[in-house]
Structure 1
Amino acid sequence: MSNCEIKITLSADEYRAYADFIPALGEGAELSTAYARSVINEAGIIHGVDWDLVDSTILYCNTNKKIKKGVEIAVGTPPSSEVPEYWNLEKKFFEHAMGFEPKELKVNYKERSPFIMVKKGELIATLVNSKDGVLGLSVKKIAIPFKKKKIVQFTPGKNTLVADGKLHSATSGRYDISDSKIININDVLTIEGNVDYSTGNISFAKDVIIEGEVKDGFKVAVGGSLHCKNNLDASDILCRKDLIIDQGVIGHGTALVRVGGELRAKFVENCDVESKKGIFIEKNVMNSTLFTLGNLELGEKGSIVSSYVHAELSVKTYDLGKDGSPNSEITIGSSFVAQRSINALKQRLDVLKAKLTKLERLPDYRKTDKKLQLIEQISAVVVKGSEELSLKQKNINKYLDASISVFGTAFPGNLLIICGIKYSITEEKRKVKFYLNSESNRIESVPL
């Protein structure tokens, strides 16, 4: 015969208490709640006791005469960490800041970019208020100190706007996090290397500076100015303002460079180029097509070889053509945009006229009321379109004083068109200016 027994053990931090419940043998005193309370109190456990568990364990042991060990009879109250105030970044910005890589099954590396572009007013982060820490309690009701939660702290920086606990972009640009976790929106995108698979295609709302090359097959779209400090292997380049290239433009296939401002480069090869305000090339234009609503000017020894040029105001070059090379065609005095509009209108009218002719040639028995009505409608559109075309053609040649200046040699075979009047150079000419004599309606030349 032996009495019951309860043995208490505590965890090292006194946050948890465990008990072994040993029932009586024979006629010994059984386990009871009063006995359990005295043992637990004697152990100094005064917080977090699960008395329901204690009572049910006592009942089990007394009924089944079995020992129950390691019963967790008490658990303390955990401390609550102090949380400092912090900026909670939107998911895509946080992942970028922490260097997380997106998980994609199929990746188009030309379209994928390491840069994150934002629009003006875009939400970047929300301010989370600080939270005080709360002490915990051990099972002996001794205070457990709280910790300060470690939070990555971001700080609003350049071109950001804080209002009502929200952080927004103050301008369109590139989202960037400095090494010291300062959030900046850069309105100039600087690419220190090449535009290639490491950057993907570039699309940016403001100015862009490219220190390396733009590799073949990659697209660049810029809402401001673009400055390339090396060669531009053009595929598709769209620049709303000025395009400055320290080296040259080299096109491949259907390469197109479209500029809203001025274009400046050392050379242009095998490329289609459009510029609203003017094109300035230091050396050569070869096997290319150039359109501008301004002037085309080449440098001191620059030349135009095997190319088509349409400049609204003037062309200035050192050499026009080259011995043994295919000829060039130079058109000035009219807008290439207006000419394209005329060409498009002509094409539409040709389609309508062909359809009208086909309808009019139908036998009378096939000319239903519906088809007669269609003939009448198309005829009216053709008349109106023809009047519009006539007006456009009448007004296209606006710059009668446009000229082509050749400071070196104009080689025979090259074709000049000034305000719609054509002139083929039949002999070599040096230091000469070509212009339209409005009285004779012929292209003439004078020495420079």
Structure 2
Amino acid sequence: MREVKLEATNEAEAIQKALEELELQKDYSRDELDIKAELIEEEKGFLGFGAKKIYQVQVSIPEDGEEKASEEVEEKVEFQDGEVDLIVNEEGIFIQLTPPQGNGEEVSLVQIEDLLEAKEITEVDYDQVSEALTEDIYNEPIQVAQRKPELDRDAEIGVNLKNDGMEAYLSIKPALGGKKATLERIKSALAEAGVAFGIKEQKLKDLVDEDGVLKQEIEEVLIAKGAEPVKGSPAEIDFKFDLESEERQVRELENGSVDYLNLNKINNVKPGDVLATKTPSQSGSPGTTVTGDKVEPEPVEDKSIPAGKNTKLSSDSLTLESEIEGQVIYERDKIDVVPVHTVQGDVDLSTGNIKFVGTVVIEGDVIDGMRVEAKEDIQVKGSVHAAELEAGEEILVKNGFIGKDKGELSADGDIKVKFIENGRVVTDNDLIVTEAIMHSDIDAARIIRVENKGLIVGGKIRAGREIEAKVVGSNLGTKTELYVGVTPELRDKYNQLKDELADYQQELEEAVKTIKYLKKKQEQNDGQLSDRDREVMGQKTRARFQTAKEIEDLKEDKESLEKRLDEGKNGRIKVQDTLHSGVKLTIGTEVKRISKKLTNVQYYIEDGEVNKGSYS
């Protein structure tokens, strides 16, 4: 049975430390050992802090294990060389030989001389040495020299702290006639070095003999090991949807065209769906150096679930749920749910017209005569045929828009489509067409850009700032009209809106005055009003709210027109390849009719006049 005393916070920790110190874990499992731990000393700290517990742990090794160990020792002994020990006492200096075991080598004269020289022993009686070797005198002290007290040397005990005080190493040179390295002196040396925690008690006992004296010289033996601080775990956020699907990237295809429509799959969720969960951070526990100093663990990172719009965080802040049906996205470090309605096919009579307060995604086509209205985006994976689409943000049509002089696309944001034929398109931002605009009526507040084939032929094309294409018109002289900048019609519309806004503001002011007058009259008559006055009060109150709403809407329209007027100050038409004759260009109030075919050309306003320059 082996026994060790050590400091621990609880019984389980005491047992674990004992097994480590006794180095039994590599040879035995817990089930093979008989382990008993007893709390033998406890010092309570101030207000519960600094408490100290000392446990005595007894470990019994199974008999077969002891037999196995004995067999291993016997096996090792079969090949053990002879040994020589030096003994120094009051009577003199002695050597004692141990015979070899099995095929081991006998002690040689060189070994004895090296030992005596290392111990600085002089005036050696080599007759006695020779006799001991030739006569095979074993296990008996043979005096080989007289003791000289002036050469006596106490045992040298050194303690070296390493690894930031987490380890203590012991080095001892045995005494030569002086004070021996006893267990008591070794412990005192450890105490003087400040070592008070994690001392390997069993290893200390193994270093000394039955009399408590060092058996042999040792160097850098690990004698104490501190307890490393236990690392904590940072908080973790587990997203319950595909983060990579949120990446909306425009990519160039092999043929050089640009795909604005294959953006990302939609993460659809319903109210109550879990969007993310949080695993809270766990603080670590401090460690202890061999000198008893506390070592604080590294701080752990905490983080919160990035809740965004249309989401609900649980009371413990560990779960995020959706409040609505829609599309979950992760942008700008926020989890938002954007309302999305998906049509798994065509919009036709089987679906009816669609009106949705969010984004609408259509996997197929929009058939003739149908209408789709969305407060946010409309994405059509197929084509639009003589239908009406109205979006509060963008419209994206993967294939073409075939209007048949009946269909219309209208959006507050950008409109992106492969081609437009016989259709009406209105956008408060940009129109991007990847192939052609043919015989259509187009109105874009900012820019119209036709890429790749880059054809504009037939119809009226209007942009607030710029029109850019590769080919405009045709050899057949198809009537094609391009307009950029501030037109008289736009200016008249703006002035009309200003007058209308002024009228509503006057109406609101009169309603407020009437309401104030009637309230004052009511106060003077002890809260009473005639039936006629009450009727007027109700009419003016309703008119006030309605007029205020009209003013708010008109102000938004006024700001939008002011933006277009500002954009139109620098109108520009750019044609990269061919501008055919017969095309009519209007920039602001200036009109230019193209009389002959031109290439690589642009027209623009500068100092109030139309100027011509190179495309680039």
Please give the TM-score of this superposition, normalised by the length of structure 1: 0.47
Which is bigger in relative contact order (C-alpha 8 A, separation at least 6)?
A: 1
Please say which structure displays the higher CA radius of gyration. 2
